[in-house]
Structure 1
Amino acid sequence: MKETIDLLGKILTNTLTALYEPFGFSLLLSFLAMFFYLYAYEPIHAGKGWKNAIVTWYQKFKESVFFRKLFFLSFVTSLVLFRTLLNRNLWMNPLSDVMGGWGIWETVNGEQKLTTECIENVIMMVPFSAVVMWTFGEKIGNSCKKILWYSEKIAFIFSIIIEMLQLFLRVGTFQLSDLFYNTIGGVVGGLMYYVAMNARKRL
């Protein structure tokens, strides 16, 4: 029992650390990204000095639901990119472990070592998929089948893009398990969005 609790504690610690590390950077990046959005769509109000730009940003965030949705989408996207591309070491051969990463244990120098990458791959795509569905929910519709299909497709395509960039930029390794777990996370995120929207309607 104690071993199981210790194992769950390590998994929880590693997962929370993986989410905590890029939190501040992602928040700042999404804040700045929305300034670009304002300059593209509100140039008259945002282009009058940095004080007016901050006031315009705050007012837009307060008044516009779509602006808030885009902000949160930018935030979760930057979280994913930080974990997959922006904070990775260079690899000599990104194809060295294509079939790896399926379990929570890996063998390093003959010893078993706990790794939570597969769990992290699922978890990091859950908020991404849910926020994408939330942002573009009006275009997608309320059908459970449609929501799950789009969340699966978006998560898979996004994962393919990340894995190909890892391959060409040589940051991280290309793994089929990443595609699988990211897609699973996308479906879970879509399901959570569907459940949350139905619960909101009933309330």
Structure 2
Amino acid sequence: MKIETKRKIQALSTVLFILYLFLLTYFLFFAESFDRMYTEREYAYNLEPFKEIHRFWTYREELGFLAVFTNLAGNVICFMPFGAILPVLNRKARNFFVITFLSFEFSLLVECAQLISRVGSFDVDDLMLNTIGGVLGFLIFTICNQVRRKRYG
């Protein structure tokens, strides 16, 4: 690949990653449509693995498809860009274990920020789902990178 093409891809990836971080921050901390309001509320947290996943699955009929999808699939989907774009920005991130660790670490940072700011809640299930999302994003990057290498050499 030409150096000029690599630079363009790096620049575009940087812009996309920054945009992704801004959008993620907005939806996780400021979007009123997701009940993200600064009010006097208690600290909310769940430290029991699979508790919220089980609750959403058990009460899926009562909660409705949108609520279940937003919570379960949304936590996975919102971290897929992290795992897909980061390896483009940094060659050291082109490793399954590195991406898994960074996805977990970034998710932990987000969950702690939600706990401290009392916007949203700290949920160990979200940590797991977000990490899975980062790994899936990395797998998509890996597949696309292999296809690109086969096609363009």
Bin the TM-score by the shorter chain.
0.7 to 0.9
Which aligned pairs between 1:16-165 and structure 2 lie closer than 5 A?
64-87=8-31, 88-90=36-38, 92-95=41-44, 97-99=46-48, 100-103=51-54, 104-105=56-57, 107=59, 112-114=62-64, 115-116=68-69, 117-137=71-91, 139-141=92-94, 147-165=95-113
Aligned letter for 2:76? V
1:187 aligns with 2:135: yes
Aligned letter for 2:53? W
* Length-normalised TM-score, structure 2: 0.76
Q: Matches of 1:102 and 1:153 in 2, distance apart?
A: 22
Higher RCO (CA 8 Å, separation ≥ 6 residues): 2
Q: Please tell me whether Structure 1 or Structure 2 has the larger radius of gyration of its CA atoms.
A: 1
CA offset at residue 180 of structure 1? 0.4
CA offset at residue 72 of structure 1? 0.8
Aligned letter for 2:116? F
Structure 2 residue ranges without an equivalent (≥5): 1-6
Q: How many residues align?
A: 133
Structure 1 residue ranges without an equivalent (≥5): 1-62, 142-146
The equivalent residue for 1:176 is: 124
Deviates more, 1:97-106 or 1:66-75: 97-106
The CA RMSD measured in Å over matched residues stands at 2.3
CA offset at residue 65 of structure 1? 3.1
Sequence identity of aligned pairs in percent? 24
Q: Matches of 1:101 and 1:90 in 2, distance apart?
A: 23
